Amino acid sequence: MPKINLHEELSRALRYDERGEITEAVACLDGIVRFLPEGSAYQKFVGQLYQRLGEDEKSLTLIMAALEKTPKDPDLHLCLGYHNVDNSLLEIAAENFNAALRLDPSLKAAQLYLGRTQGFLGDLANAEKSLIKAIALDPDGLEPHIQLAHILLRQNKIDQARQKFSQVKEMAPGNRMAEIGLKRVNALSTSLVKTATNAQADAATVACIKQGTKYGPAYVNRLQSMVRRNSEIDLRFVCFTDDPSGLDDGIEVLSLPDGGLQGWWNKVSLFRDDLADIGEKFLYFDLDVVLTGNIDQMLRYDSDFAIMDNDYVPGFNTSVFLLKTGSRPNVRANFSQAIANEYDGDQDWVAVMAPDAELWPDMWCVPYRLRAAQKPPAITKVVVFSGRPNPEDYPSDWISKSWY
């Protein structure tokens, strides 16, 4: 059997991970996993790293093997909880975090993630209690305070949420989550956020963006196919792109606004007040979404700006939004390269510039890992993907029945 320096190879995998070279990091771990010595320490570490890289089954195999050897290791129950959250098994994940806390009541991460998971489950009252306990364990940690503020906001406890976000701002001046949270609190408290009605507006145009080579024409073609299968409206389907080659009939091609901002920032250009040829209102989809239900209610939704909530942190998810053309021009008008350098992504910028957005009804749009890894909720219309896996990886059986 060849000799291998485990420490060196693990360090190499971590460097790949830090650089975002996921395929290389996974290949590095695959090359050493059979050389791991007996005992749970290496299995736990490599299992955690596999989980971070999105390799769920490989991670689970190692974590379960380590648990067989050391069933009273609270960190392993914590790892198992992470795995189950990432695979939409939220009730089981809550049990895992509780198991970790029974073994070690001082385990900060377990208390924090118990509260977060209860929030994901909609058990907001118990989530609030758990996050208060998480703060008691880690009073100087920002994350427990941010998550508690998020839960207070979700319960519409506006004054308490404002106080908690303000505390985060004092603890860490310039903290983006505090900025987003306070903007949203102010919008809610001044009635800027519109209340949903049963009115039916004129149908919106469907729009997407294809820039560069990250997603080929097949993604656009699939999206158009899903849209038309899941709507009874004779709608327009528009693709803003720098390369229309390979696009199917029925897809209207428009040039990228602004000549194409880079990466996720290209969505900011859709907020221009002079966006041409798109119609009065449009429904935007990222290319890597999967439609699982009829979208006519979304196309006719009576709102100037409706967007997907962010389950994980204060703010929005810009994978799916409805916009009255030109109704939030400050999102584009105030954008600059300095903003692109300062902000982590378009989602934070939109949340700061347009905190008065209306949220889509609960569960209409859900993240794949958190809500749909087993199967999407019956009410769900759109499943969104971020990072790994992508729809083309077919990580769940149901995807092949919807993504075509």
Same domain flag for 181 and 227: no
Structural tokens at position 159: 């004054």
Q: Note whether residue 184 is domain-resident.
A: yes
**Taking a C-beta distance cutoff of 8 angstroms, is the pair 28, 13 a contact?**
yes
Same domain for 149 and 218, yes or no, is no
Residues 185 and 210 in one domain: no
* Domain end marker among 129, 163, 192: 192
Which residue reads 């970790």 in tokens?
A: 100
| Domain count along the chain | 2
Asked if 209 and 354 sit in the same domain, the reply is yes
The pLDDT tens digits for 283-339 are 999 999 999 999 999 999 999 999 999 999 999 999 999 999 999 999 999 999 999
In this structure, what CATH number is given to the domain that contains residue 159? Answer: 1.25.40
- Where is the domain boundary, 167, 192, 217? 192
Quote the percentage of the chain above a pLDDT of 90. Answer: 86
Contact, 181 vs 150, CB < 8 A? yes
Task: Check which CATH number belongs to the domain holding 223 and give it.
Answer: 3.90.550.10
Which one has a higher pLDDT value, 402 or 4?
402
Structure tokens at 9: 């190879």
Question: What is the distance between the alpha carbons of residues 23 and 111, in angstroms, rounded to a whole number?
Answer: 32
> Does one domain contain both 221 and 312?
yes
Planar angle of CA 20, 26, 29, nearest 5 degrees: 125
Coil, strand, or helix at residue 200?
A: strand
Residues 356 and 239 in one domain: yes
* Whether 351 and 267 share a structural domain: yes
Domain span holding position 240: 205-362
CB contact set of 234 (below 8 Å; sequence gap of 6+):
none
Residue 333 falls inside a structural domain: yes
| Residue 224 and residue 334 in one domain | yes
Helices 74-86 and 108-120 pack at an angle, to 10 degrees, of 30
Segment 194-226, tens digit of pLDDT: 665 556 778 899 999 999 989 999 999 999 999
Cut 0.85: pTM above it: yes
Residue 343, in any domain of the structure:
yes
**H or E stretch covering 145:** helix 142-154
Residue 277 located in a structural domain: yes
Are 315 and 353 in contact by the 8 Å Cβ rule? The answer is no
Asked if residue 152 belongs to a domain, the reply is: yes
